[in-house]
Structure 1
Amino acid sequence: MDIVTKPLLKSNRKPSYQSIIIGSPNELVNVKKDLSTWEMILLTICMAGLQFTWTVELSYGTPYLRNLGMRSELISLVWLAGPLSGLIMQPLIGAISDKCTFKLGRRRPFMIIGGLLVCLSMAGIAYSMEWAAILLGKKPSLIEFGNDDEVRKMAITVAVISFYCLDFSLNAVQASCRSLILDIPPLHQQETGNAWAGRMMHIGNVIGYFTGFLDLKAIFSFLGDSQVKILCIISCIVFILALLVTCLSVKEVIYETSAIEDSRPWYHTFIYIYRAFKYLPVPIQKICNVQFFSWMGWFPFLFFSTSWITSVYARTHSTQEKDFFEVSTRYGSFALLIYSFVSVAAGIIIPHLTPKSDSSKNPFTIYNIYTASHIMFALVMLSTFFVDTVEQSIVLISSIGIPWAVAMWVPFTLVGEFVQQNESKLNNKNNNNNALAESSSSSEISSSASSSAVAVDNNNNNNKAGVEGGDENEFDAGMILGVHNMYIVFPQFIISIISALIIKLVEEFTQTGGGIGNIGKNDAYGWVFRFGGLMSLVAAMLSRSIIDLKIYRKD
């Protein structure tokens, strides 16, 4: 067999090379073809559908539960569903799918199953009242929701369970989509792939918040009798279509297990997760440390921005006004719509500001941009002290689109670069071992056939031992992304509890008791925002310790 050396990295990066044995079954795995722009769009469009569905939950979740009669501090605890599902599903799905041998590939089966569960969960949220009436043995058409306390309490239960199911399903799909985006492109296109994923998420935000801002009852009355019902149906349609496009356009290489992997016990996945935490490479650990504090800032914004705008709106409007909550929630959707437009623009422009080479004196390195985004987010959150009108709140929320664009691009690019470089080193080592075995075998045949067999067998045993023993730096993409995501969800547990305490303390201090009629008399959500801003400042300081990978843009 001929041995050909092929470059893994292009342009201004220091070249790294990988030896490929032509005709080897590993060739398809080791050499990944460059993706065109169109192929990048098809690969990452699943993130747009995923984000569209997240926007429905983020913008309407809290107001919807409040409208059902749930107390504010309890709603904060409901949103533990997000971090809990991320904590369990992302590393678990990542680890299982890494070794999945389905004919559809490693990631797509989980995307399809998770997608179906997402749609069922959305139906539970949209029709929580109807499900509640059925469970209580009553006819939904005869129920006056506001006057039936029993049905209202059951509807809250159904909605909360559905939100939990939705979060678990979405996290399963998100883990699979992120891993797929890491699997398909070659190393030098990792930055491009993650940039496209970020753009698709921004587009999903724009479409989602724009749809939520529209008066859907007037436009799509045939889909339902409320804004939430229609929005849930539309989100299911968009989500499924986006997922189908990616699943049908991407071709995965079927994973083949080794004899060692086939003999591993069922609990090996959990040992794998534990070892990934224990031996997390230092560059990834530093990124995870930043993400921990960064997401203690992002969580309050993502879940309470609409409610904060509602409280600001209530300072100048009576809560007794007709359709108060619907109007105020649409103001929140409008603010998030502008924010999503800003994030799309920032997601397109900012990557093009990065330097082309190491010799460039351009200060807009990916390293500096990451730090600056945390500082900007912190300043905006702390500026809520000075907001008095809904117009000012809209401007503030809109400006957060810039740091959000960076948050959806930089950390995943850094993680992706490291994972791909690590996999390249592993492939190099394995190919070099195979080449040495071939060479050793050829030379020994001339003197002794048995010596050749021993040499090859020893080499293979060493190779297997390395895999089984587990080089602490050798983990698959899905597992690394799973651990990285756990550092995103851990702080959400903490901030959920802190948010509930802050809201409770502020409401008691202002003697409102959380009543709907007094919503404009306290600034509980503003105080939660400010706490998040302080956490973002901690993230900014930690970001300076990240190993500065030399990542350059390509024209």
Structure 2
Amino acid sequence: MLGNDARRTRVANAYFSLFMAVGNILGYATGSYSGWYKIFKFTLTPACSISCANLKSAFFLDVAFIAVTTYLSIVSAHEVPLSSNGAVHAGEGAGETEEAFMWELFGTFKYFSMPIWIVLSVTALTWIGWFPFILFDTDWMGREIYGGDPNGGLIYDNGVRMGALGLLLNSVVLGVTSLLMERLCRKRGAGFVWGISNIFMALCFIAMLVLTYAANSIGYVNKGQPPPTGIVIAALAIFTILGFPLAITYSVPYALISTHIEPLGLGQGLSMGVLNLAIVVPQTLASPKVS
């Protein structure tokens, strides 16, 4: 459907980011609500406190939505069996008729030009920065901003819920940016937009360090006191602004790698697989080891 068109690729990924943002907004709204245990009263037991019951209820809702959306996907998407359309592609190149197995995926590296390697390298470095934030964003809010203890107490839980609210605002900005993605890339260029978004990301991560230092300097952390309103607003602002670079990260690299790989005749699917390798590798490096 993209027809090897870079503009269509950007638009398609922008819509992907938009719908993902809508889902994130609903999901983080679920996480920021503290009254699920009142609706699903059976989740509150002597062995499961209010925080546990809220989390359990969110998981029940998650399972229900996954079941519904999976059913809709299976019913709506009708795939054509490979054996029935083999004759259609019989006269085309072998790269379009074969599956991109791992050895074929790595075998394409010898065809890569310098711009492709730059896109892959920047993508890998960018995701090394994103994964720790995605893993520990709400924990950072509960520990460093609210000064709570993960093993007990409502202060940490309040911080986690406030972090979920920040991620909700993050998703709102992500959705709005996705709607404006094509206009931004057409006016300034995809590479320029991606570079600016990475600068925003770095500044926001530095701001998180500064805010952590400021919270510790005030002296309320680990004393059972709520954080000052200004500290909370600043943390929410950081979460919100990060929605802009996150939307760019979800969309622009795919369009750039597709633009550079398609002229080599390697195929759209293979180009997406190559870029996903650049994402998976830093994920394994950035993910913490659980003992």
Q: Classify the TM-score, shorter chain.
A: 0.7 to 0.9
CA deviations on 1:337-378 (whole Å, 9 max, x unpaired) are 1111111112212432343xxxxxx4x222211110000110
Q: Is the 8 A contact 1:276 1:480 kept in 2?
A: no
Please name the residue that 1:329 is paired with. Answer: 160
Deviation at 1:381, TM superposition (A): 0.7
Q: What are the equivalent positions in structure 2 for 1:503-518 lying under 5 Å apart? A: none
Range moving further from structure 2, 340-349 or 373-382: 340-349
Tell me if the contact between 1:203 and 1:344 (Cα under 8 Å) persists in the aligned partners. Answer: yes
State the match for 1:482 in structure 2. Answer: 273
Where does 1:71-220 land on structure 2 (aligned, <5 Å)?
Answer: 184-188=1-5, 189-215=8-34, 216-220=36-40
- Written as runs of structure 1 = structure 2, the 5 A alignment for 1:302-317 is 302-315=134-147
**410, 413, 429: which is aligned to 2:252?**
410
Structure 2 counterpart of 1:336, which letter? Answer: L
- Matched AA of 1:384: M
Contact 1:296 1:491 in 2 (8 A): yes
Distance change in 2, residues 1:495/1:207 (3 Å): same
* TM-score after normalising by structure 1: 0.41
Question: Which residue of 1 is the match for residue 41 of structure 2?
Answer: 221
* Percent identity for Structure 1 against Structure 2: 23
Pairing of 1:156-555 with structure 2 (within 5 A): 184-188=1-5, 189-215=8-34, 216-221=36-41, 226-255=53-82, 256-257=85-86, 269-280=101-112, 282-315=114-147, 322-355=153-186, 362=187, 364-387=188-211, 388=215, 389-418=231-260, 421-422=262-263, 473-496=264-287
Root-mean-square deviation (CA, aligned residues, Å) is 3.2
Contact 1:212 1:333 in 2 (8 A): yes
Q: Partners of 2:151 and 2:123 in 1: how far apart?
A: 41
Mapped partners of 1:209, 1:300: distance in 2: 18
Distance 2:149 2:107 in 1: 56
Count how many residue pairs are aligned between Structure 1 and Structure 2: 253
Q: What SS does structure 2 have at the residue aligned with 1:409? A: helix
TM-score by length of 2: 0.74
Structure 1 residues 494 and 320: alpha-carbon distance in aligned structure 2, compared to 1, 3 A threshold: closer
Provide structure 2 residue ranges, at least 5 long, that are not aligned to the other structure: 46-52, 216-230
Distance 1:254 1:285 in 2: 35
1:178-217: CA deviation from partner (whole Å, max 9, x where unpaired): xxxxxx4434432221111111111121111111112322
**Bigger radius of gyration, 1 or 2?**
1
Q: Which has the higher contact order (CA 8 A, sep 6+)?
A: 2
What whole-Å deviation, never above 9, does each CA across 1:266-287 have from its counterpart, x for those lacking one?
A: 9x93422331344445543321
Distance 1:253 1:291 in 2: 33
2:166 and 2:239 in contact (8 A); partners too: yes
